[in-house]
Structure 1
Amino acid sequence: MEIRALVVGDRCVGKTSIIHSLTSEDPLDSLPTIHSPVKIPNDQCLENCSLTILDSYTENLPDSSQILEEELEKATVILLVYDITQPNSVRRLETLWLPYLSKHTNSPIVIIGNKLDLKSSSPDYSFDTVISLLHNHAEMFEVVIECSAKSLENLYDVFIHMQNAVLYPLSPLYDIKNERITREFERALTLVFKRCDKDRDGFLSEEEFCDMQTEVFQSEVKIQEVKEIYSVIKERKPIGIEDKGLNFQGLCFLQELTMQKLQNSVCWKLVKHFGYGDDLELIFHSEEVTDCPWIELSMSSLSFLIATFDQYAVSGMLSKGALTKIFFSCKNTPFSKHIDKLWIEFEETVITENNCINTNAWLGFWQVLGQQNRANCAKNLLLIGYDLPIRTIFTTFDTKIQKSVMTAFVIGANSTGKSYLLNGHIENYRNNYIPTTSIKITCNIIEESPIPWENKYLILVEFPVICIENLFCVIDNADCVVVMKNESNDSDRFFKEIPMKKLGKVKVIDNTKKKIMEENFRDIFMGIFRCCKEEYREEKILVIEKRSINGMNLMIACGILVCILAWICFRV
């Protein structure tokens, strides 16, 4: 990484002196007005980065020059210097410099109080006063540090902080204004905690904490050292430690203590080890997800999901609140950008009962996600704690009919019962008709097995008439197509106009006079599942019609009866 540090500040605060003392052993005599750019060798920098330090001419501020603004745009870190012996220099940090910099740069800012060697001659100066003065601008700068370019006091700290501000910035981790860790860092820590809590009891035991330290920092930590850390947390944050060990609040507090010691690098190394990037987003390599056309969740994925369910479930049911905890480490929910809509997604997709779901509904939800968007499914599994390689998330098949999860698209004219069929699929029986305006998906178990990964699921995807043009773009994802039909002219027209041969396997459900009732849903869904499982031959379209005894079936029965009577009369 290339770091470009620009030094700014009032005239005569010691900008050039700081650069000279950082980069040369020569005395501070006869220095130029502006120091020439200085390149620090990579092997002398943190993380082997490239560091260039540049001086600036700010004589004409606030009527700043265009050159300074151009340099601010190119800088990756700003060193704002003030003179601790000059009260006006301190005040101008708030009244001039920080407001000015906020307009011209988004780079991190390190504030440096120079001439520390003369502090004793400035009785009115107080470091705490500076911090208080800058409180309203706290979110703008990384750190305030005092030093002396003449005596070299704390100058090495300046050198380290200007690099840390770029490599390990504080602002993404800590909200200085509200004095708490940021939401993004908290989400990342949630995943870290889940991954390190091997026994899933909600605590990091001393042994688990040792393992985490060894894994992340490649250095062995003794149990006694962990006991001392836990003792400090118990004293400073009693609710962070319990008999079983460190809880999540305790882990967050430990990170706050680390940042107070200006050791942001420790926090960054922790989250980056578990796959997070500079933006505190989980780095996800979508190209590692299998591109095989026929997939479903693997045994390892289902085992992880069942273990997660058992960890958060009460009396075999997962509550609405528990789901929020499980998905807290996700910035967005699997189907939308709003975490508060999470429960709505479950209610619309699987069977819910009293704001809870059972194991089958939990697994069904993930089966839908895997069939709908495998990359999204894989990323969300990683975000809630799955710790095996991406390639282990899905099982692949040579043909569709080998799958245990079948998908049927449901189409038909308006008012033919598509939504009623899908609502029945998740036992949400509603008699009021509400026209569907977007694609709707439901999932339910169709055959349950004592072995969870041998369960068979049926996914129904409703395409309303206004979305029918999207059908043929994704038709290959369907194992069969269900066409709903009734006695209306719209239904007849739809049935005639739809190009059946492009649909593959087709099952026609005749809902004339709304004959689909709750009591025969089970048979209907089993029929759809069997249709999905059957081999499809291109020259033949499979059409299965469901008719009542009062309709076509009655006519056929009467015809057969007439034939039998005629045969009897003929024999007589």
Structure 2
Amino acid sequence: MTKEQIKVVVCGDHGVGKSSLIACLVKDQFIASLQEVVPPVTIPRDFQSSPYATKTTFLVDTTNYELPALHRELKTADVIWLIYSDHESYDRISLYWMMMFRSLGVNLPVILCKNKCDKQKPFDDQKHEKPLIEDDFASENDTKIEDEEFIPILREFKEVETCIKTSAKDKVNVNQAFYLCQRAITHPIAPLFDARVGDLKLLAVLALKRIFLLSDKDQDGYLSEVELIELQSRAFGKVIETLELNFIGKTLLSLSAPNQEYEGFVLYVPGKGMTKDGFLVLNKIYSEKGRHETTWSILRAFNYTDSLSLSDKVLHPKVDIPDTASVEISPIGYRFLVELFLTFDRDNDGGLNEQELQFLFKSTPGLPSLWLETNFPFSTVISNRAHVTLQGWLAQWTMTAFLDYKITTAYLVYLGFEKDARLALQITKSRRHRRRNNKLYRAPITDRKVFSCFVFGKPKCGKSCLLESFLGRSFSENYSPTIKPKIAVNSLELKGSKQYYLILQEFGEQEPAVIENSSKMKGCDVLCLAYDSSDPESFSYLYDLVCQHKHLQDIPMVFVALKADLDKQQQRCQVQPDDFTDQLFIDHPLHVSSSWPSSLNELFVKLTEAALEPSRNTPGLAPDVVKEEVDYWQYALFGTSAIGFASLISFTLYKVIRSIQHSN
């Protein structure tokens, strides 16, 4: 069978009416004389009136006289339609059929059907228990599971999903029984409800709690009428009526009244709405009454699969990213993130504290692993109380999308982004390259707003302090060696009020390995090569680095002399910094100090501009070569104008000479 088909295997003792039910379903009439086993029947989805008809249904009739064939069919089935009709066949449900299913290792939903109800009467007239399951598509009297014969089987065998009475002769509940078989696959009860305990299962509870959190837009702990209407519209595509809202409220209030089942629980508060406990109780009632398709509609509207996990296709949609292209957040994505920040900033202090962050990520598996690895929130902008600001919040997500877009799409879904997560992203163009004088270099960038900068340099030269300064933090005299990689991300504004994001990374002990990793270096937009201007041994590290690793010279680079407020020292190196940069045809090192804010800002702007205009900062491109790019068209236009002007003069002289000749 294909995944687009539901295979229903019809089982039961000889003479219970299996073939008659199948024939009545297909022909919509009772056929008195039938062969013992009817051939398999395929019912296309388009020919089914069932509300659960999402796939083609394949019906297989069987006989217990041919056990090998029966066993083969059962092992490939999706659902079992088990039929009995009298005392003897009823007893064999427990003693034979259910035992056979278990011995074969067949763990499938079973729809138990009492057939020939046109001839049969209930086994006794004892007082019936409260209905366990109620079906919407059958009549009130025939589908309530209230017969004493059903209850022991339902309690003993968890595989039995529901029971129903039918009659092929009178055409009673034949279609309904077929619908139940389909529903057992499209809307299974087993993942939601434990009939033995009489309560929702843990995974269902966790999923419904998350849905409640996401539906509670104002985060006040209640689902108001407006929020319930939005939930109804998302799950069912229609607006819930006021009468139904009032009925739900009254039902929950009555259940929590004194001497009732949920006494002491707050399920509903008039004027505020339904609580989380009330939402869980409501869905429990749906499962108890056989209306679990309602719960499934809610779950699937929030992208839950049959295993009650979020769909991987939704969490990680396929995104086509060309080589050397990058991923950024779209305006739609930024708008969602801003609204999320404002919603969970409960004290309106302009920052998310630890408790607010914990509550914000309650609908997710927790903080992304990437954030933990990069020491969030200290990887971005925070307030003086160590709360993540809106600027830092957006910068952190920008960095996440750039470094690992799959984390971004997954967490957007976790956090309640209702559209396709790909709409929150935008893909930049691949890097283009140009060649001048046999030197291949990167072309100017026009469509990117996020750039990655790797900071290399000798230990103790001040790299970590540079990252801290980028985030607006003050200088600290305390030194601790960088072992694990560090990251800092922030936004900055260039001329023309254009905003960009810069991601600074230093790698600690992993720096040599990163330099050797060509794929890692491919993701770098600009190199920041830092040295301590007060340490005479510091620059030689960079000199050796650039000379030994020639591939670094294909990346735009900016040299920076840190600790410029201290006494400048002559570098013990074959070449002094200014001379070396002259040899590379790039700018001299910027002299920067954490006590000179303007110098820091100049450096970060310079790094961003170097990423935007790679040719001006790529080693090996002579100044006249770079200028050639700018002035080429000016020269071309000038040449074209000169030629045109000469042609005009020649033509004028020709006309004058011809007129003189004619006059003579």
TM interval, short-chain normalised: 0.7 to 0.9
- C-alpha change, 1:345 and 1:152, in structure 2 (3 Å) is farther
CA shift for structure 1 position 193 = 6.2
Q: TM (normalized to structure 1)? A: 0.72
Tell me what 1:281 maps to: 310
Tell me what 1:100 maps to: 103
CA shift for structure 1 position 163 = 0.9
Tell me what 2:528 maps to: 482
Q: 1:357 aligned to 2:360?
A: no
Which of 41, 48, 73 pairs up with 1:44? Answer: 48
Contact 1:186 1:252 in 2 (8 A): no
Q: Distance in 2 between matches of 1:197 and 1:225?
A: 19
Deviations 1:306-337 (A, max 9, x none): 2212222233342444434433444676446x
Gaps of 5+ in 1: 544-572
Farther off after superposition, 496-505 or 367-376: 496-505
Tell me what 1:239 maps to: 266
Q: Distance in 2 between matches of 1:176 and 1:518?
A: 67
Farther off after superposition, 116-125 or 253-262: 116-125
Tell me what 2:360 maps to: 326
Contact 2:327 2:428 in 1 (8 A): yes
Greater helix share, structure number: 1
Matches within 5 A, 1:510-549: 523-524=599-600, 527-534=603-610, 535-538=612-615, 540-541=617-618
The code of the aligned residue for 2:547 comes to K
CA shift for structure 1 position 414 = 6.8
Q: 1:161 aligned to 2:180?
A: yes
Matches within 5 A, 1:226-265: 226-236=245-255, 239-242=266-269, 243-265=271-293
CA shift for structure 1 position 368 = 0.9
Q: Distance in 1 between matches of 2:72 and 2:16?
A: 22
Contact 1:188 1:276 in 2 (8 A): no
- C-alpha change, 1:260 and 1:298, in structure 2 (3 Å) is same
CA shift for structure 1 position 228 = 1.6
Farther off after superposition, 10-19 or 307-316: 10-19
Q: Distance in 1 between matches of 2:305 and 2:73?
A: 27
CA shift for structure 1 position 10 = 5.8
- C-alpha change, 1:104 and 1:94, in structure 2 (3 Å) is closer
- C-alpha change, 1:198 and 1:289, in structure 2 (3 Å) is farther
Contact 1:82 1:113 in 2 (8 A): yes
Tell me what 1:132 maps to: 155
- C-alpha change, 1:522 and 1:118, in structure 2 (3 Å) is farther
The code of the aligned residue for 1:381 comes to L
Q: Distance in 2 between matches of 1:29 and 1:281?
A: 50
Tell me what 2:638 maps to: none
The code of the aligned residue for 2:608 comes to C
Contact 1:82 1:93 in 2 (8 A): no
SS in 2 for 1:346: coil
Matches within 5 A, 1:20-419: 20-23=23-26, 25-26=29-30, 32=36, 34-40=37-43, 42=45, 43-46=47-50, 47=53, 49-59=55-65, 65=68, 67-81=69-83, 85-86=87-88, 88-92=91-95, 96-101=99-104, 103-104=105-106, 107-112=108-113, 117-120=120-123, 126-134=149-157, 138=158, 140=159, 143-149=161-167, 154-174=173-193, 179-180=199-200, 183=203, 186-187=206-207, 190=210, 194=214, 203-214=222-233, 216-236=235-255, 239-242=266-269, 243-273=271-301, 281-282=310-311, 283-284=313-314, 286=317, 293=325, 296-315=328-347, 316=349, 317-330=351-364, 334-335=368-369, 346-347=376-377, 349-350=379-380, 356-387=387-418, 393-394=424-425, 400=445, 405-412=450-457
Contact 2:205 2:280 in 1 (8 A): no
- C-alpha change, 1:540 and 1:411, in structure 2 (3 Å) is closer
Q: Distance in 1 between matches of 2:619 and 2:190?
A: 61
- C-alpha change, 1:240 and 1:323, in structure 2 (3 Å) is farther
Contact 1:505 1:542 in 2 (8 A): yes
Matches within 5 A, 1:463-474: 463=507, 464-465=510-511, 467-468=513-514, 471-474=517-520
Contact 1:416 1:491 in 2 (8 A): no
Contact 2:218 2:343 in 1 (8 A): no
SS in 2 for 1:385: coil
Deviations 1:416-465 (A, max 9, x none): 665665567666977443633xx6533245569xxxx9765432233423
Q: 1:462 aligned to 2:506?
A: yes
Contact 2:445 2:613 in 1 (8 A): no
Q: Distance in 2 between matches of 1:245 and 1:228?
A: 13
The code of the aligned residue for 1:370 comes to A
Q: Distance in 2 between matches of 1:370 and 1:358?
A: 18
Q: Distance in 2 between matches of 1:469 and 1:174?
A: 55
Tell me what 2:557 maps to: 506
Deviations 1:184-213 (A, max 9, x none): 67447745863x556665543324433543
Which of 3, 8, 19 pairs up with 2:6? Answer: 3
SS in 2 for 1:3: strand
CA shift for structure 1 position 365 = 1.6
Deviations 1:113-154 (A, max 9, x none): 5566354269895433222222xxx3x45x120424566654
CA shift for structure 1 position 18 = 4.4
Farther off after superposition, 416-425 or 358-367: 416-425
CA shift for structure 1 position 91 = 3.2
Gaps of 5+ in 2: 127-146, 257-264, 430-443, 567-591, 621-664
CA shift for structure 1 position 500 = 5.5
Contact 2:382 2:392 in 1 (8 A): yes
Q: Distance in 1 between matches of 2:253 and 2:410?
A: 35
SS in 2 for 1:269: helix
- C-alpha change, 1:287 and 1:491, in structure 2 (3 Å) is same
- C-alpha change, 1:406 and 1:343, in structure 2 (3 Å) is closer
CA RMSD of aligned residues (A): 4.7
Q: 1:496 aligned to 2:547?
A: yes
Q: Distance in 2 between matches of 1:222 and 1:250?
A: 19
Farther off after superposition, 299-308 or 487-496: 487-496
Q: Distance in 2 between matches of 1:55 and 1:413?
A: 78
Q: Distance in 2 between matches of 1:152 and 1:122?
A: 25
Q: TM (normalized to structure 2)? A: 0.64
CA shift for structure 1 position 527 = 1.5
Contact 1:8 1:79 in 2 (8 A): yes
Q: Distance in 2 between matches of 1:422 and 1:84?
A: 81
Contact 1:85 1:122 in 2 (8 A): no
CA shift for structure 1 position 240 = 3.5
- C-alpha change, 1:532 and 1:476, in structure 2 (3 Å) is farther
User: Quick check: which has more Rg, 1 or 2?
Assistant: 2
The code of the aligned residue for 2:279 comes to L
The code of the aligned residue for 1:360 comes to Q
The code of the aligned residue for 1:311 comes to T
Contact 2:554 2:619 in 1 (8 A): no
Deviations 1:340-379 (A, max 9, x none): x969863464356878533233222211112223354244
